[in-house]
A and B are shown apart, each in its own frame.
Chain A
Amino acid sequence: MKGLILVGGYGTRLRPLTLSIPKPLVEFGNKPMILHQIKALADVGCTEIVLAVNYKPEVMVGTLKKYEKQYGVHITFSVEDEPLGTAGPLKLAEDVLKKDDSPIFVLNSDVICEYPLKELLDFHLAHDGEATIAATKVDEPSKYGVIVYDRDVPNRIDRFVEKPVEFVGNRINAGIYVLNPSVLDLIEMRPTSIESETFPLLVEKKQLYSFDLPGYWMDIGQPKDFLTGMCLYLTSLSSKHPEKLSKESYVYGGNVLVDPTAKIGKGCKIGPNVVIGPNVTVGDGVRIERSTILKNSEIKDHAYIKSTIVGWNSTVGKWARLEGVSVLGEDVNVRDEIYVNGGKVLPHKSIKANVETPQIIM
């Protein structure tokens, strides 16, 4: 089987992290974001994976070669000369995707969930439609394109309503699809959208079905949602793989994922919902909650970190306090005793004065 991951651009919404590396390589739960998807595709039996990108992917090639071996998959890049939307990349990769008659998985790289691809595939094979959309339940359907079901055939999609004013349902497109290769014939070789152009064609042909995605779902394309997604991911991990989470005495409230190479000092209180990356040094008396600390960073004694992403090789000084969805880029230095609230700090900066209100530090 084959899978295509829609990576798209460099991920400007996740700056300042994506000023240093492309978004798919930003670690989420101590693994590059794209790896969550590659692993899910490999697990369900995909051997051929296409990454649809619209920038030169040199930086990613080396990293991904490593994973080809590890997961026994073949990864190719489909590089768009101009952005082709969400459907165009499929057409561009037609040669690979049409190699055999098996269904094609399509994943959006921003989406994080439990990836129940096996169930999704079984569901797809059980109905006679050409395509299946994974759907997720949302609290505020009025913000999204909502799925309306066919009255006669269960799970068949009747139409989509974009940002409905009146309640028509609470299931939305989760950005995960299974398509028969025949769907590619409906796509033209031009910039085009799968959601607004391809799917309506399938709806017309009564060929589009929806699968209720179990578990959590989150688009983690921006820092605020990255942290929310991290909480969901860790909660899911605590029920599915509790052995992966830390059980040390410093853990408070659970859901703490610590790389074995990280060093944690005395008298710390860490959690709930914290990810600490490889080679991170955490000093004594540090408090961390709802945050991700990326690799090689140093958190000095008595610092307080809440709702923050600390970028690679950064340093947080003694008694510093970071909160309010602050994001430190690569190699940022927050001096001792400094307060940062919602600061988005570009790489290689030194913060010497308090940042009281959310702002970008150039």
Chain B
Amino acid sequence: MTTTKAVIMVGGGSRGTRFRPLSLDRAKILFPIAGKPLLGHTVDAILEIESIKEIILIGFYEPSVFTEFISQFTARMKYTKRDCTMRYLKEFKALGTAGGLYYFRNEIMSGSPESFFVIHGDIVCSFPLLKMIDFYDEKTRENGSKKLDAVLMGVQVQNYDVFLALNDRDQSSFGTIISDPKSRRVVHYVEKPETKMSETINGGVYMFNDMLFKRLSRAKITKITAASTNPEYIDEDVISMEEDILENLPEFGNTFVYPYTGIFAALKTPSDALYANQLYLNELQKKQKTLKSELPSHLSAIPLGHKRSSTIDRVTLEKPSATIIPPVFIHPSCTIDKDAGTKIGPYVSIGPGCKVEAGTRISNSIILHKCHIGGNSLIRNSIISYGCKAGKWTRIEGTGVTIKKTAKKHAGPQKPVELGDCQIIGIKDSGNISILGSGTNVDDDAYILNSFILPNKNIRHDIKYEIIM
């Protein structure tokens, strides 16, 4: 079985409202997390599969949004002699989470791929794609002659309540998958349930084949029928992956769930970006460590047939030092004055062309390109968009939230065992982080606490728990 295509659902311009003020001047999906755009992490995970020849982005953004990303991708493929193309297909209107797949079915099926990936663009994950392919092949064999409908990536939630808190979602925000524990055959799927039925949730990564379009056609017919009787409330063009496809798949008995236990989050709000930054920096740090130890034999360490490609956009993290508490990404074009006890990290990403003056403290923050941070300043739990200037002795801070990690409770009353503090951002949409929109100037000595500043403002006074228009 060869998988030659991947489709990334990138969403649409109008849907980025929850990501404001950061989405005011860039697409959420291109927001830099741990040294590259969120989309870049997904694309690089896909590129690790040698057989992938085409990546299709489907969404509702203006095509110009992706021009630079695609041209850089194309240049890199050419330079590394990797045979893979990328293109963006714009929906004529927002078509829901699966409407675009139906609309562009011919594009996706051109070249007749035996199977392909569909991935939601806003998820943060270590993408076990190679393992999913093996799982898909294994389940196909076990299923006899019958073609699979799909393999879903099911996120195995270790501690359900903490997971929901981490992702700032209540119980009902995820699709829940119930499967046979042995065969992993999906027996039930329910989107956004009100009660907890399983600790496996839909991770937004799927493997499909041409069967998908049969299911989509059926869903489309159902939609048209429903729309004809109720045209005011139902839009026949909009198809939901979760409600119109996944909820119906178990009845055919050919859908399996791949159990995934790694990092997982969805990027919905700005505070999610800080959490995503933590997760991806941790992943990069792990990868760099294993890369170092396994380098001589790394080719043989990869399963046969799925060779690791060298074409991915490598991000090099800073080495630990008196200034750096890892993991920290600082773009090589930055000027960091490491005198006077400058201390950066952990969980800091700094974009190209930034200047950080001496005696500055930065932790758990994202700073985009071309920012200038004055001396003796402190930045914590904050996102600084591009082209911002913070004066000397400024303090830009989000309080964040710390919850205690507790060991899993055993039967009977028991005191929870503390496993140390776990710094978590993303409990609330606002009120615990600070964000400077692009081109913000902050005067010397000013303090910004748990506030959002919209782009191009000049801040002369302390701002606490405010949104500055």
Task: Give A contacts to B, CB under 8 Å.
Answer: 266-267, 269, 284-287, 289, 301-302, 304, 306, 318-319, 321, 323, 337, 339, 354, 356
Contacts and interface: CB of A to CB of B under 8 A. Distances in A.
Given A267-B359, A323-B447, A337-B361, 18 more contacts: A267-B358, A269-B392, A284-B359, A285-B341, A285-B358, A286-B376, A287-B393, A289-B445, A301-B359, A301-B376, A302-B340, A302-B378, A302-B393, A304-B395, A319-B378, A321-B395, A337-B380, A339-B447
Interface string B241-279: 000000000000000000000000000000000000000
Interface of B: 340-341, 358-361, 375-376, 378, 380, 392-393, 395, 397, 399, 445, 447, 449, 464
A356 to B, nearest CB: 7
A301 B378 contact: no
A285 B375 contact: yes
Q: Chain B binding site: helix, strand, loop or mixed by DSSP?
A: loop
B341 A318 contact: yes
B358 A301 contact: no
Contact of B340 (A266, A287, A306, A323): A266
Given A267-B340, A269-B393, A321 B378 contact: yes
A274 to B, nearest CB: 14
19 contacts: A267-B358, A269-B392, A285-B340, A285-B358, A287-B392, A287-B393, A301-B340, A301-B359, A302-B340, A302-B376, A304-B395, A304-B445, A318-B341, A319-B395, A321-B447, A339-B447, A354-B399, A356-B449, A356-B464
Contacts of B359: 267, 284-285, 301-302
A190 to B, nearest CB: 51
A183 to B, nearest CB: 51
A123 B361 CA distance: 59
Contacts of B447: 321, 323, 339
B341 A301 contact: yes
A112 B434 CA distance: 42
Contacts of A302: 340-341, 359-361, 376, 378, 393
A168 B188 CA distance: 85
A304 B341 contact: no
B341 A284 contact: yes
A304 B397 CA distance: 14
A318 B449 CA distance: 18
B322 to A, nearest CB: 13
Contacts of A284: 340-341, 359
Contacts of B445: 287, 289, 304, 306
A287 B447 CA distance: 13
Nearest to A304: B393
A319 B397 CA distance: 12
Nearest to A284: B340
B342 to A, nearest CB: 9
A216 B393 CA distance: 32
Contacts of A318: 341, 361
Query: Which residue, B375, B378, B464, has most C-beta atoms of chain A within 10 A?
Result: B378
A301 B378 CA distance: 12
Contacts of A269: 392-393
